[in-house]
Amino acid sequence: MSHLSGTASLEIAAAPERCFAIAADIERAPEWQGAMRSAVALEYDEAGRPLLVETEIDALVARVSLVLRFSYDEPHGLTWTRERGDLAGLEGSWRFEPMPGGATLATYALEIRLSRTLALLRKGVRGPVESRVRALLTERPLEGLRGRAEGDAVIADARALRSSG
């Protein structure tokens, strides 16, 4: 079985609680995450957070449909695993570590076990295309989270300045 994995970290100028709140809003993740095209919650936990989510991911070389099970460690991060779908396996996580000045070190990790069909397809896309797929799946979520966390914070700060002035 073929694997595709990656881990990336990025400093975000927002508190871990803010980063967690954005990442844990799974149903809105397609708005900012990059590869995720849709996310529909099938079950929720007692806090109202999605537990079982049907997703579609565009990995450049193929669209992949999955049902993922999420678990939460608020505000430190969340994890997910494949329940069923087009991949043989998938495990992912967000980790949020506080940094000086109220910033967060966000780490995104993803490990994918490709199905036989996708593994055969992968053989034809090694090299630069595989690097682009890996970047899409690991770096784009971090960039999207930073844009959402910092961009929304900038908008909120501007509104606060306007209302106080």
Burial of 72-94, coded b for 16+ CB within 10 Å and e otherwise, reads beebebbbbebeebbbbebebbb
Higher pLDDT, 1 or 69: 69
Residue with the larger pLDDT of the pair 54 and 118: 54
- Strand-pairing partners, residue 67, are 54, 84
What is the per-residue burial (b if ≥16 Cβ within 10 Å, else e) of 130-163? eeebbebbbebbbbbbbebbeeeeeeeeeeeeee
Tens digits of residue pLDDT in 127-139 = 555 565 566 677 8
Angle, CA of 47, 52 and 55, to the nearest 5°: 125
Q: What is the pLDDT of residue 160?
A: 43
- What CA–CA distances, in Å, run from 18 to 6, 12, 43, 126? 24, 10, 23, 37
121 pLDDT tier (thresholds 50, 70, 90): very low
pLDDT surpassing 70 at residue 21: yes
| Predicted local confidence at residue 135, as pLDDT | 63
Residue 79 has pLDDT above 90, yes or no: yes
Q: Is 74 helix (H, G, I), strand (E, B) or coil?
A: coil
Q: Any idea where the domains of the chain sit in the sequence?
A: 3-160
For the stretch 143-162, pLDDT in tens is 999 999 998 654 444 444 44
pLDDT band with cut points at 50, 70 and 90 for residue 122: very low
Q: How many CB atoms lie within 10 A of CB 124?
A: 8
Give residue-wise pLDDT tens across range 96-112.
Answer: 999 999 999 999 998 98
- Does the domain at 3-160 match CATH 3.30.530.20? Answer given as yes
Predicted pLDDT at 66: 93
What string of DSSP letters covers 87-147? SSEEEEEEEEEE-GGG-EEEEEEEEEE--HHHHHHHHTTTTHHHHHHHHHHHHHHHHHHHH
Q: Is the predicted pLDDT of residue 18 greater than 60, yes or no? A: yes
Q: Which of 54, 59, 5 is nearest to 35 (CA)?
A: 59
Q: What's the predicted TM-score (pTM) here? A: 0.82
